Structure 1
């Protein structure tokens, strides 16, 4: 294995691309100082992956790029590639020639290539490990390095020997493996920390899951109730819409009754339609003219195209004729010779032609005289014929006029008879319509009276139904409110039941003891369970008790110690136990309550508990006063040596400890059972009320259904009466219209009869004049 070729471009003093061919064996580079011999060694070291710019005799890595000279600009990149002949197969590749290259830019970016494929520095370092050709291997030795090696200690020389012996590869792999082990150990520690954090959140997530399920159930129930409420509202709106629809129908009937007024508008509409048709006719004529003009334009365009084609054909014809003229030149010459021959023959025929012409002129004069005589005779015959035809035409016209006049007289006589009959029929029809109109008016008055009675009955039924539905809606709304209250109280009861069962808010050890009463039979409960207090003072007493409200109460000291031992064995957690028997023997000297307006009461006096626990209450809360304003109380000297707490839970102890009450997400610890009992009582009351409302709703529903039937009957009666009245009004309008038409027809017939008689008189007079 040896270096067979070295290419340099832009590296240090090599501005242009330089190629060095190296053979197997020893290659010597000879030259004066400063010509770049050492730069060749630096190039080999640099392409093998050297990262220390001080070894390359540079201040920084970008200094290896050619920096310019006289007449030569600096470069922005340098590149060195080296070809290694792998004839011995020491490199773990299947190629005989392996080319490695390195490129660096002035921006500091570096690129490495292996057989012209981009790779990593690590790939090149792994390729030459244990071959003696690495960047820090012993294969590249400068003069000063020999002195450095000789002056090094044993440990420094050891690296060179390990490289030569092939141990350096395994030492590098060992370091890499140890680094990976260290990173893995760090990752495992982080995973353990994450697991611990996740386990801490699991319990709270379980509680949140329960609350989420309860919330989902409540949300679904709320949606159902909202749908029920919407159904009730829709039903109520439908009841409101029904009378409005009835009124709409009444207005529609009124609109139909006034249809006679629209007849005038219809006549005007017919006039407008006639004008529209005439204008449409004019528009069609204009469109036809425009269409003709368009056709002419298209024909002109077609003619232009034809003429264009004809022009092109003419040009082709001219070309053809030009060619034919050339061809006819020769024919003309031959024809000229023939012309000479014909001229000679014509000179021979001239005397005979002149004699024939003289004879023709004489015959022509005789013929012209005969022709003039013939034309005069024909003209006379035409005039006589025209006179005869004119007389025949006049005779035919007089005959036709006489026949038409006679026929017209007959037609008019017949028409007069028919008109007299039509007038008599129309007068009879008008009289019949007048009688019918009077009958219709009587029937209409009776129908209006029946309709008024039916509407009054319907109005009474509607009023009653409206009142019933109003009562039903109020009951429904009340039911909805009661149902919402029941759902709310049910949720509160479940919440407080869950709090009582899970003992939320108590220390882990106290919860364990309370959840296992069989294991700890001597435990009676907690201070918060034994001490009952009004809700007004609950925050104040809980703040005053503090963590003492979490304390467990055992029957006696022996049971308390036994409870502690069992809990310690089961690793239950932290809790505090108060022995009841010993606590009842406590005697507390209660101080007199200061006479101050800010004082509400002594805390122990507000506690409601058994007589056995009263001494414990005085011991724990005897020196605690409940005040209206904590800040003003702290400024007063009357309360020195007293613990103070206001109704909001702000606390100041006799030991100068100050606390601010913050409401827990689990609610109050004291009075949970009492609160649960109160909620259960209220829930039962609301359930009873809901049952009563359901009974009332059922009764009202039956009454509404009965009233619905009555309303439907009355509505049907109103509709029937309205329909009868509408039919009578329609018939009356139709009858009145027919009567008007009959009157107009009579007037029109009389006018026509008058005109016909006048025309008949004129025709009779004309007929007498036309008789032959």
Structure 2
């Protein structure tokens, strides 16, 4: 095995990828100071797993990455690969060429590879352990390591010697095993603490589980009760809503009919108002046209009279002028002749003209006075017409009010009659509701009594169930204790079987020999196996027999020879065998024991065929209470060996043994008796467990029966409660209906009272309106008569005025 190649990328001063090939033999690297010779050695140590930064001549691990120069940037990672030729199979791998690689990034992430396969640092350390190669091995020696070797520090030299001797691997394994043992011991201590804590948590959780189960049961029961209550309330609300909905429908129907009637009445009223307004407008137009026509007639009459007057006057003037022309033409000559006569006559005519002019002015003044009087009369007549129209409108409104009041009065009278009939009809319904209410109250009281009785039964049954649960819990706890005891006994049984089958406590040679029991049929067992005694005697027998307990009893000498040969061939040590056929040839007399002594053999039980062996081994052993008694009896009976109950032994007068003896959990003697006792205890515990399980089953059956009865009672209570609530709801509904009837009756009485008050007010209003209508009708009649009279006088005066106008015209 040798180093064949070293490849560096970005390691310290090797920025470029650098390969160094090494052939067999000696290779030397030379160069000036600072050229990187030591960096190659550092690279070898680093790739082999060196973790100490000081050994790499750096302050921190990332300094081994190329840090850059003025002309070259620093690198982000470094990698070193070392190729080793495993031609002698020194490395524990199947490859002949092994490439060890290590990478390091500036982030601190590191990787190890063997033949480009990621591995752990421990894998690299294991593969080079005891090969002479490694980060701290003697194959890589620096100057300071030479100084360490030559120094007087034995510890530093020992490290190299251990590496060279190949014991480092075992030391590392030993340290690792010790660390694991210590960690296991701490884990065991911690496990015990955890077990105690877990036991507390388990007990707490068991209580919490019980509480959680009860909470879930109560929650489910509460949910069911809430659902039942919600269902009951829902149905009760539905029952409450139904009569209200019927009333609402009826009232809505009445409202719609009333609204429809009101709409019709309002429409008729609007039509009446529109007709009245139209009539008033038409009346105003007619009055205006009448006034206009009157004025026009008067104007036309006046114009006609003037025109007629002018026409007559013009005709008269024409005729007169024609006559005068003719006369003047005839008399023109006469006038000239009669000029004197005419001048006298002219004077006379002038006087007559002055008189006529005075008469005309008088008649014109009278006419003007009459005209002013007529105009005043006409204005007064127009005012009377306006007053008449206004009074007529007021009278029409008063008559409409009177008619509406009379209609309202009739409607109130009909309403009062209907309400009185409704009161009479509701009396029978009210009595029926009271009878039904009395029946429902009795039924509710009966349901309440039954519910109370059932609730008392439930309380008693719940108390009984709680007692049964406590009995079950106590029985279950007893069962758990028995199961734990059974598990403990089974554990002891298994442990004891394992001890017996492996012959724990015997010598290794005895254990090996007893393993051949299946191969050799003549092996009976060890001396310890054939003996059974009480615990106190067992301890004394172990002290007396000591190594003799490892003696193996076989049937005959050939079996003994064959077994010894097997042990010898396997190099398992030495064993002592006791052939039974030789014991039969021995004459071992029954010992004679004086009075007052307690032979140990009397405390031992064994088969008859092993009695000679026991007499041979323990026939001379006597039990005493203390060492003083043993000393006294040894002087008296030197042929016996003595052992005290504390374990002190006395053999003759020469040898006394004593001291403390470590108490064993399982003695070598009586293991099978202990096994039988444990098996019997297991059978007893199993019988007890069966009885407890049977009792627990009976308790559970009783509990199930009680819970079933409780469920049935609760169901009956639920049904009874629903019936009670239903009865109560019906009772409340009946009370509500009775209250509604009473309230309705009171409201109806109030309505009748209100209607009577309204009727009284309406009658007074009607009486008042009738009086006002009669008064206004009388005033309107008077005003109409006055208007007619004044109009007649106006027409008469107008005729007189016309005559006067004619006279004036004539006078002109």
The reply to whether TM is greater than 0.5 is no
* TM-score of the aligned structures, taking structure 1 as reference length: 0.44
Higher RCO by CA contacts (8 Å cutoff, separation 6 or greater)? 2
Larger radius of gyration: 2
